[in-house]
Amino acid sequence: MSTYRALFASAALALPLALAASPADAQQTTLRIFVGGQQRPDVMRQILDVYQQRNPGTRVEIEIGGATSDQQQQYLNTVLTSRDAAIDVMLIDVIRPAQFAAAGWAEPLDAYLGAEKDAIMARYLPAYREANIVGGKVIALPYFADAQFLYYRTDLLEKYKLQPPKTWEELASTARTVMQGENNPNLRGFATAGAPIEGTVCTFLVPMWGAGGQFLGAQGKPDVNSAQARRALQLWTDLKAANVTPPNLAEVVTDRIRVDFQAGNLLYAMQWGYAWNRFQNDADSTVKGKTNVVPLPGFAGNQPATCIGGWQIAVSAYSRNKQAAVGLLRYLSSPEVSKMQAILASHLPVFAEVYQDADVLKVNPWFQFARNVVVTGRSRPVSPDYPEVSEIIRTNMNAFLAGTRTADQVIADMNSRLARVYR
C-alpha cells in the first residue's frame, strides 16, 4: 500500500506546476482509449489520472470491451472497418501488429517519434521491439509483456510434502496425490484455456514446443503433422483421463482459470502474469498468501517452453487527434508506467530494468525469474493472416478437448488448412 501512495503522491506534487504552465482557456482535447476487461481498466484509469494532472489540456476516456482477446478484436474490427474516429488509441494483443499494419488500421509512429525513434525502441525487450516493427515501420508501442506460468497452491503441496513439478509427468502424479488426499469434489488438479479462444492456441503450441516441435517446417511452411504435435495432444488426453483437468475444459476461457483458482478449486493453473495480483488482492480471493509461481513444466529430457503474450498500444489511423494520441502513447509505454503496472496489476515489464526494481520485487517476488521466462519464451506465428491461423488452431484444439475430434483428424485439418493460409 505504501508503494502505491508514494507513486501517486509524487504525481500529485507535479500538479500545481502543470496547472500553472497551462493557460486557463487552453483547448481541451479528449482522447478515447479502448481496453479489454482483462487488462485492468481500473489500473489504467489511475495511470491516466496522473497523465491528466500533468497535461490539463488532455482528457482521456476509457472504453472497456471484450472479456477475451478475440472479443476485443471483434469490436475493433467493427470500429476500424467502418473507419470510425471514435477511438483514438487501442490496446492490441502482441499477435496483432502484422495484421494491423496490413489493414492500415494503425497510424505508423515513425514520423512522430522522429530522431528519437531508435533510442526509444532500443529500450524495450527485443521480442516486444520486434513485434511492434512491421516492414520497418513502428506500428505500436509495448504496454506490458506477458507469458504463461505455472501457478500452484503452496499450502496443498506442503501438506503432501511435494515440490512444484518440473515435468508434465510430475504435474500429473502430484495432482493425483493431492486430489485423492483432499477428496474434495470441487478440487481439480490443473486447468488451461480450452474454449475456442486465442489462449487455446497456446494450449496446443506450448507442449508441442516443449516436446521439441516447431510450428514451421523446413520450407518455412506450417507442419504440425509431427510426433511432437501428437505428444502435445496426448498430454491433454492423459490429464483428462486421469481426471486432473476439469470436465468442462473445452469451455474454459482465460479469466475462468483465474476465477476457479482464486475460489480454491485448482491446485495448478497455466496462466498469464495478471492473475498474481488478483490472487493476492481480490476481496474474494481464497488463495492470498497460499500461491506461488514457477516456470511451466516440460517433458522429461526436453527444455520447457512458454508462449509469450502482452499488449501494445496503437493509434487508430482514423483518429482526429493523432499528435495528442502519440503523446499519450509515449507516456503509457514508458518505464514509469511499466513500474506502476507491475506494482498495481502484476503486468510484466517491457523494460529489463523494471524487473530488478526493489518496489516491484517487493510485491512480485517471482519477477526475479520472470524476465528470463519472457526472454526465452516463444512467439506465436507472426502473420498478417494471424486471425485465420489462430482460428484453425483454436477450433481444432477445442474440438479435440471436447472429444468431438480425434488427434488424427485435428492434425490433418490443421495441416491442410494452414497450408492454404501459407500458400
Which string of x and - marks every residue 59-78 that binds ligand GLC (by CB under 6 A)? ----------x---------
Residue 381 in contact with ligand GLC, rule: CB under 6 A: no
Which C-beta is closer to ligand GLC: that of 37 or that of 56? 37
Q: Which is nearer to ligand GLC, 299 or 311 (CB)?
A: 311
Residue 135: which region, alpha, beta or left (left: phi > 0; alpha: psi -120 to 50)? left
- C-alpha cell of 272? 498469464
Cα–Cα distance for residue pair 339/388, rounded to 1 Å: 35
Q: Which is nearer to ligand GLC, 203 or 245 (CB)?
A: 203
Closest CA to 62 of 98, 97, 31: 31
Query: How far is Cα 44 from Cα 346, in angstroms, rounded to an integer?
Result: 13
Q: Which of 100, 128, 272, 318 binds ligand GLC (CB under 6 A)?
A: 272
Total residues belonging to the chain: 423
Can you spell out the DSSP letters for 19-88? HHHS-TTPPPEEEEEEE-GGG-HHHHHHHHHHHHHH-TTEEEEEEE--SSHHHHHHHHHHHHHTT-TT--
Nearer to ligand GLC, 254 or 364 (CB): 254
CA dist 224 → 208, 217, 389 (Å): 9, 8, 12
By beta-carbon distance, which residue lies closest to ligand GLC? Answer: 309
- Minimum Å gap between C-beta 119 and ligand GLC is 26
199 lies in the site for ligand GLC, by CB under 6 A: yes
Closest CB 248 distance from ligand GLC, rounded Å: 17
In three-state secondary structure terms, 384 is coil
93 lies in the binding site for ligand GLC (CB under 6 A): yes
Is 254 a binder of ligand GLC (CB under 6 A)?
yes
**How far apart are CB 73 and ligand GLC at their closest, in Å?**
10
Stretch 303-342 residues interacting with ligand GLC (CB under 6 A): 309-311
Query: Out of 94, 133, 172, 267, which residue is the one contacting ligand GLC (CB under 6 A)?
Result: 94
Task: Select 100 or 272, whichever has its Cβ closest to ligand GLC.
Answer: 272
Let me know if 346 is exposed, middle or buried by CB neighbors in 10 A (0-12, 13-18, 19+). buried
From CA 288, how far away is CA 18, in angstroms rounded? 39
Minimal distance, residue 127 CB to ligand GLC, in Å = 12
Residue from the set 107, 198, 223, 260 that interacts with ligand GLC by CB under 6 A: 198
Task: Give me Rg for the CA atoms of the chain.
Answer: 22
Residues binding ligand GLC (CB under 6 A): 38, 69, 93-94, 146, 198-199, 254, 272, 309-311
